[in-house]
């Protein structure tokens, strides 16, 4: 009975709405599924926190899609997660974006966000903790307790950087010297011997980012040659402090418990081993698709990339779409992800139209639509002068400091949470920010920065909390614990 109603509904809509070439797979998916999309208005008018379009991920794919769905008249929510702009933020220079001779990854991310924001896309600066695609409207829960009921979902979550399972990786991951975000950590490698592992465009980009700061950079390439663009290789070859070791694999990372001190590598031809002094190690060996949230529901391939139907961005679940690096590792370019985002938007538009969702339905259920929390627009002061900073912490009872790098993904993630906290606590606590890329080495030494984002809370000039932060949730916990302790002292 459900399929019969669905087919009748699609036929009625198709008589009114022109069907484009992009809707072929959408229609096939709807007609071949067991999902029942009954009368759209009666189904959703009693459900709270409905959202016509939810996009999980704010990289080129997700942001590009949001621009088109909003312009088509569909209310769209982008759940940002950890990175506004996505993995593109880690690219120093992009020279293959159509219409731009050269721009940084961070610039591209900002441009896409500004465009999406301008046309009316809404943003939720939280991360998704779970999804239920077995019911419709679907259910999405965030790490901060929000529950959203989307009519359609785009998975644009990108990938998680790969790391090798060799001794020392886990022990020294993070502030002890092992990571992947070279553009975030490069300022901390001044005077260091640095290792980069990989042979792709990404690896060569990492090398060039680090070579500006590090004493030396050694690139370990398992194969006999680089797989990067020749233009990038030529740029790298101009760096006097860079060395490339071919046919070389990483066997072990060694350290003194506090920091990386060396790596052990092995030649893949003669098996000869070599110990190389190093204080930092960066992986650039590709990504694992961030598909874990939806694997119980949608079809994935043997490498856990989300499977798509034909030439569309449709997944195996009607109403669920995917775009960008979560669907394939074959291309891995921002322009390709943006193109897939546009295709996904067209598929979403056709899906919503075919199930009968339109502005008149939205007008009826407007009171049930999800409303994201207001974003704080408070401007937290940024301090760059050490003398001004010392005066500040010595003349205020309590000062919270965030040391950040504007290219750091976690720094971007915690920004809205810190702004909201600053707005609600402006009478109790002085809050400032320090851009690590804009301060002197003496200032960096004074702050004792192991990594970013770093939260320091001073009371009467003395640091009582000095902690690197990995998420918005951790930032909230640190601040709430501090306030709770202060309240106990007052009692």
Q: Using alpha carbons, select from 77, 61, 55 the residue that is nearest to residue 158.
A: 61
Contacts of 277 (CB under 8 A, 6+ apart): 193, 261, 262
What is the reported pLDDT for 22? Answer: 36
Higher pLDDT among residues 15 and 426, named by residue: 426
Q: Domain 2-160+287-368 is in which class?
A: alpha beta
The CA distance from 189 to 204, in Å, is 17
The CA distance from 319 to 227, in Å, is 37
pLDDT band at 452 (very low <50, low <70, confident <90, very high): confident
| CATH for the stretch 386-490 | 3.40.30.10
Same fold, 2-160+287-368 and 178-283: yes
CATH of 178-283 among 3.40.50.1110, 3.40.50.1400, 3.20.20.450, 3.50.50.60: 3.50.50.60
Give me the count of residues in the chain. 491
Q: What is the pTM of this model?
A: 0.79
Model pLDDT for residues 103-136, shown as the tens digit of each residue: 877 788 889 999 999 999 999 988 899 999 999 9
Model pLDDT for residues 177-231, shown as the tens digit of each residue: 998 888 778 888 989 999 999 999 999 999 999 999 999 999 999 999 999 999 9
Contacts of 117 (CB under 8 A, 6+ apart): 123
Q: Using alpha carbons, select from 41, 6, 69 the residue that is nearest to residue 313.
A: 69
Provide the residue ranges of all domains of the chain, joining segments of one domain with +. 2-160+287-368, 178-283, 386-490
Structure tokens, 441: 């080495």
The CA distance from 414 to 329, in Å, is 29
Q: Which residues of 180-203 are buried (b: 16+ CB within 10 A; e: fewer)?
A: bbbbbbbbbbeebbbbbbbbbbbb
The mean of the pLDDT values for the chain is: 87
pLDDT surpasses 70 at 354 = yes
pLDDT band at 37 (very low <50, low <70, confident <90, very high): low
């Amino acid at each position: 009975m459900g399929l019969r109603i669905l087919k009748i509904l699609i036929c009625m809509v198709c008589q009114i709405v022109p069907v484009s070439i992009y809707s072929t797979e959408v229609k096939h998916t709807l007609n071949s599924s067991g999902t029942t999309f009954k009368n759209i208005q009666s189904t959703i008018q009693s459900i709270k926190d409905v959202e016509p379009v939810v996009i999980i991920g704010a990289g080129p794919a997700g942001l590009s899609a949001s621009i088109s769905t909003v312009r088509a008249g569909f209310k769209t929510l982008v759940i940002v997660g950890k990175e506004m702009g996505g993995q593109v933020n880690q690219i120093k220079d992009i020279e293959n974006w159509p219409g731009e001779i050269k721009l940084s990854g961070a610039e591209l991310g900002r441009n896409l966000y500004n465009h999406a924001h301008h046309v009316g896309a809404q943003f939720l600066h939280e991360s998704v903790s779970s999804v239920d695609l077995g019911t419709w409207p679907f259910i999405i829960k965030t790490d901060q307790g929000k529950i959203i009921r989307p009519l359609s979902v785009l998975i644009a979550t990108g990938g998680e950087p790969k790391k090798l399972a060799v001794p020392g990786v886990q022990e020294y991951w993070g502030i002890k010297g092992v990571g992947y975000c070279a553009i975030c950590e490069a300022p901390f490698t001044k005077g260091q011997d640095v290792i980069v592992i990989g042979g792709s465009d990404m690896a060569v980009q990492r090398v060039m980012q680090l070579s500006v700061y590090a004493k030396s950079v050694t690139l370990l390439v398992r194969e006999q040659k680089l797989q990067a663009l020749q233009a990038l290789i030529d740029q790298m070859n101009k760096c006097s402090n860079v060395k490339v070791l071919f046919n070389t694999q990483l066997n072990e990372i060694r350290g003194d418990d506090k920091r990386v001190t060396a790596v052990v590598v092995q030649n893949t031809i003669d098996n000869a081993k070599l110990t190389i002094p190093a204080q930092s190690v960066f992986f650039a060996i590709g990504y694992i698709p961030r598909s874990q949230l939806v694997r119980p529901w949608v079809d994935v391939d043997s490498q856990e990339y989300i499977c798509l139907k034909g030439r569309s961005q449709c997944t195996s679940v009607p109403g669920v779409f995917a775009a960008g690096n979560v669907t394939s590792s074959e291309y891995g370019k921002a322009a390709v992800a943006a193109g897939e985002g546009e295709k996904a938007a067209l598929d979403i538009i056709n899906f919503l139209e075919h199930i009968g969702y339109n502005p008149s339905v939205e007008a009826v259920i407007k009171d049930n639509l999800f409303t994201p929390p207001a974003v704080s627009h408070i401007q937290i002061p940024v301090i760059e002068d050490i003398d001004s900073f010392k005066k500040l912490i010595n003349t205020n009872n309590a000062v919270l400091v965030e040391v950040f790098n504007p290219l750091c993904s976690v720094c971007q993630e915690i920004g809205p949470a810190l702004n909201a906290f600053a707005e609600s606590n402006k009478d109790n606590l002085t809050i400032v920010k320090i851009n690590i890329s804009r301060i002197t080495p003496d200032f960096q030494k004074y702050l004792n920065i192991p990594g970013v984002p770093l939260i320091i809370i001073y009371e009467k000039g003395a640091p009582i909390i000095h902690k690197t932060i990995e998420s918005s949730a951790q930032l909230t916990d640190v601040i709430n614990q501090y306030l709770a302790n202060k309240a106990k002292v007052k009692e």
